[in-house]
Every structure is written in C-alpha cells, then in structure tokens.
Amino acid sequence: MQIQELMALIEAHVPALGAELQRAAAWVARNPRDAGLLSMRQQAAQAGVSPNSMARLAQALGYEGYGPFRQVFQDALGHGAPAYKERVRRLQGEAASQFDDALLRTHLDNARSPTVANAPKDIARAVQRMRAARRLYFLGTRSCFAISYHFAYAYSMIAGNGVLVHGLGGTYPDQLDAAGPEDLLVCVTQNPYGRQTLEAARDCRQAGVPVLALTDSPLAPIQAHATQALLFDAGTPSYFHSMVGSLALVERLLAKLAAAGGEAAQQRIDAFERRLDASSAYFGGPSPGPRRGARKT
C-alpha cells in the first residue's frame, strides 16, 4: 500500500474508532514523517496514548501489527532522487508489451489519485483559499514548471490576479518580494524536489504568505512550509517521473475555480476568447483584415 492510500484509509476509519484510537490516528495523520522515524513507544508518548493503542490502530486498519503499518511510512521516507540510468537499463531489458500495460495502468492510477488522496472538503478549502487571495503566485521548477505554467495560463482565462513565478535570470526572490499575507503561493513539486521551490515556500511562510502545496507525498519536504497540501501520485514504470497526477489535480482545481467564478469568470473568458479570435491565434479561426497598405486584387 502506498502512503497516500494509507492516509486516506486512516481518514475514512477515524469516525468508527474509539476516542483513544482517534487520538492515535490524528497524531499519525499530522506527523507522517515521525511515524516512520520514531519507535512505537515514542509515537505513543507524543500522541498521548498507550503503546498498545498504536498497535490496535494498525490492526483496526487491517495490519497484523504496528511494524508493517510503520513500514509504509519508512518506505515513503526512503524515496530519494531517482536513478535515471538504472531505470533506462531496466527498460531496455523489458518486453514492450509488459511495459505498455504497466504504463497504461500507472497513468490511470495517477489520473485517479487526486480524487482518491484528497477529500472533497480539502479541495473545496483550497479553492476557497485561491478565490479569497488578493494575488495568486504560481511556482514550479524544473519539470514542474510546465504544470505551474499551465495552471497560471488557464487561470488567467477566468481571473486576472494570477502571477507566474518564472524566475528568469534568477529572479525568484524578486518576483515574490511583493507577496503578503493577503496573497497565496501555489507550489507544484514532486520527487525529486526542486531546491528553489522549497526555498521560496520557506521564505514566503516566514514572511506570512500562505502556501498551497500540490505534491506527491505527505512526507514531501514542502509539507514543512505548507499552509495546506493537496496530493497526487507520480509513479511510473518509465525512466522519468510521471506528470499525469499533478496535471489531473490542476485540471480539477481549475474546473472548480471556474464553476465558482460566477459572472466575473464568464466576462473574463469572453474577453479572452474575443482577443484570440481577433488575432487569429488558432488555425481555422477568423482571418485578420487586410494589412494597412496592402494592394487589393
């Protein structure tokens, strides 16, 4: 079981647990990193429950004991930077049919992951944060820049307060200098986690700027700086991590934002469409008028 699935399982089972096990489950949900690092007795002491309650929690969730339950968190902690060369070597020795089937299954799982890993109330809270912000700063580095660019571009179709943090010329700090508590930094980051994204999130939180993190693990380092985090899966049988899960999460948020945008969003996107038509931005659209000075035939 992946850690995202286990966290969803804990949330689903909490209402049916007794008070003692609810305290244990709440501590694990708030401290997934410590759940993989600390002993069962240390975890129980921090949660304010008995060690036996931690074992009973694991059994209530379908595990034989606390060891296998804790192993899920330890496995997630062990996910360092990917070994690209080893992945390519494995691909070259794998049958094409096996790879194709595995890739399709993984894509489908990743596309479903934002729905599985995030409760509707968490999506709604994130949408409310975005709608309430004075400005939205969209940040993603390296491969995640493509996702943050898409997020910022599509968001600009329905609202005018988005800012793409592109960092050209090393200007990440400069672009975020004007951000304040009324704004929101929206970070996209997945393993391997970009240093500049983590540093920007840290600096923003220290300056009082809320941070919405879209990431691939409850143990991702961005969690230490996030006001709220939404999850997706990024697994892949290929050599490069998948972007399907992060894109699926962004698409879900965009649809929710548009649905909640009311007349203002409709007016904004109408003006956007008219600009596209006027400039013949896409093949097959209205043709621009004759250039000034062009000879008529």
CATH number at residue 246: 3.40.50.10490
- Evaluate whether residue 91 is within a structural domain: no
- Evaluate whether residue 203 is within a structural domain: yes
Which pair of tokens denotes residue 212?
């919405």
Q: Domain limits at 242?
A: 120-277
Residues 51 and 151 grouped into a single domain:
no
The CA-based diameter of the chain, rounded to the nearest angstrom, is: 90
- Evaluate whether residue 214 is within a structural domain: yes
High-pLDDT (> 70) share of the chain, %: 94
Which pair of tokens denotes residue 118?
């995030």
Q: What are phi and psi for residue 208, nearest 5 degrees? A: 90, 10
Q: Is 130 exposed, middle or buried (0-12, 13-18, 19+ CB in 10 A)?
A: buried
Rounded Cα distance between 171 and 200, Å, is 11
Rounded Cα distance between 88 and 253, Å, is 34
192 preceded by a cis bond (ω within 30 of 0): yes
Residues 200 and 265 grouped into a single domain:
yes
Per-residue pLDDT averaged across 179-206, rounded? 94
Q: Please name the residues in contact with 169: beta carbons below 8 A apart, sequence gap of 6 or more.
A: none
Per-residue pLDDT averaged across 215-235, rounded? 90
Residues 167 and 261 grouped into a single domain:
yes
* Residue of higher predicted confidence among 183 and 42: 183
Per-residue pLDDT averaged across 129-158, rounded? 97
Residues 73 and 126 grouped into a single domain:
no
- Evaluate whether residue 239 is within a structural domain: yes
Q: What is the pLDDT of residue 247?
A: 97
Nearest to 185 by CA among 161, 155, 211, 216: 211
- Evaluate whether residue 58 is within a structural domain: yes
Residues 65 and 132 grouped into a single domain:
no
Strand segments, DSSP code E, in the chain are 136-139, 162-165, 184-189, 211-215, 228-231
Residues 63 and 175 grouped into a single domain:
no
- Evaluate whether residue 115 is within a structural domain: no
Which pair of tokens denotes residue 297?
């035939």
- Evaluate whether residue 90 is within a structural domain: no
Contact (Cβ atoms closer than 8 angstroms) between residue 140 and residue 243 = no
Residues 44 and 137 grouped into a single domain:
no
- Evaluate whether residue 295 is within a structural domain: no
Residues 194 and 65 grouped into a single domain:
no
Residues 59 and 148 grouped into a single domain:
no
> Which residue type sits at 21?
L
* Residue of higher predicted confidence among 262 and 4: 262
The predicted model scores a pTM of: 0.76
Q: How many domains does the chain have?
A: 2
Q: What is the pLDDT of residue 7?
A: 81
- The CATH number given to whatever domain includes residue 71 is 1.10.10.10
Beta-strand pair 228-231/162-165: unpaired
**Which residues on adjacent β-strands are paired with residue 254?**
none
Q: Please name the residues in contact with 29: beta carbons below 8 A apart, sequence gap of 6 or more.
A: 7, 10, 11
Nearest to 72 by CA among 60, 81, 63: 63
Residue 218: pLDDT band with limits 50, 70, 90: confident
Residues 144 and 46 grouped into a single domain:
no
Q: Please name the residues in contact with 230: beta carbons below 8 A apart, sequence gap of 6 or more.
A: 114, 117, 118, 122, 123, 126, 212, 213, 214, 215, 249, 253
Residues 267 and 164 grouped into a single domain:
yes
